[in-house]
Amino acid sequence: MVESRAKVRQIRITPQKARRVVDLIRGRQAVEALAILKFAPQGASEAVYKLVASAIANAQVKADAENTALDPADLFITQAFVDEGTTLKRFRPRAQGRAFRINKRTSHITVVLSTPTELASAGTSTRKARNR
């Protein structure tokens, strides 16, 4: 019924570390994911927590625009992925006049939430495609 999306771009977290956090919440209920992220020790969990909370707020705004009732407990994380952003290249002076490059990586994180009715319709269409 309702599908919402939230993105954060150019966040200064390496994609490898952000993927570790995103893998914890993929496929879970949005409220449960917030509870997991609140107590996760990883540094990226704070940014992903804010992103999931933003996606929940986007879903509520979208539901209000469509005049439908929405319970945040009905939302599931259908997609969550991390793409690599731009890399800031810095140089560190080393011995004998050399310089070593330091790559400061950034990430683009995307979270998509939807209600179970959308999950059921999406699951049927993928099953039909696989059977062919």
Q: Is 71 helix (H, G, I), strand (E, B) or coil?
A: coil
CA torsion sign for 123, 72, 62, 56 is: negative
Comparing 2 with 89, the larger pLDDT belongs to 89
pLDDT in tens, 65-124: 999 889 999 999 999 999 999 999 999 999 999 999 999 999 999 999 999 875 566 655
Question: Shortest CA distance to 55 belongs to which of 3, 103, 120, 118?
Answer: 3
Looking up residue 109, the CATH number of its domain turns out to be: 3.90.470.10
Residue 78: which domain range?
3-131
Q: Is 82 helix (H, G, I), strand (E, B) or coil?
A: strand
Query: φ and ψ at 110, to 5 degrees?
Result: -125, 135
Q: How many residues does the chain have?
A: 132
Question: Shortest CA distance to 109 belongs to which of 1, 3, 16, 2?
Answer: 16
Using CA atoms, how far residue 59 sits from 39, 51, 70, 117, in Å, is 24, 12, 8, 14
pLDDT band at 132 (very low <50, low <70, confident <90, very high): very low
Q: How many domains does the chain have?
A: 1
pLDDT at residue 127 tops 50: no
